[in-house]
Amino acid sequence: MEIKNIETLHEDHLGWMEDITAWRNELAYYSRVVIKLVEGIKLGPDTAKMEEFQSRFDNMQDQFKDMAKNISAHDKAIAHENAAERMEEHKKMGDEVKAFKTKFNDLKEEFFKFEEKFIYE
């Protein structure tokens, strides 16, 4: 396994935190879109689907907070410990961020397809 220096690990953390911040902001926007859509439709199956999206967005926001907290704790830990001992943990975090990005993009795509029918009505 490649051994990175502390500066490189820190740069990874900063990049992940920037991604998480952007994703959180994007989700906040989608949550506002759901609220606007709910205001404009009658109760029915679309309302339930919108509530489902809102719940999934809220769940993902919580996951963002947890990821950010874990990354910050890891960043502080490597500054005070042997970074080589933390490499496996660092790699796992990077893999989690990548997997989460895929999950986030899948949710966005699903939401866009759902939302599209209201835009073009």
Q: What is the pTM of this model?
A: 0.81
pLDDT band at 17 (very low <50, low <70, confident <90, very high): very high
pLDDT digits (tens, 9 = 90+) for 73-113: 988 888 777 666 678 888 999 999 999 999 999 999 999 99
Over residues 67-78, the mean pLDDT reads: 90
For 97, the enclosing helix (H) or strand (E) is helix 87-119
For 41, the enclosing helix (H) or strand (E) is none
Q: What is the pLDDT at residue 42?
A: 66
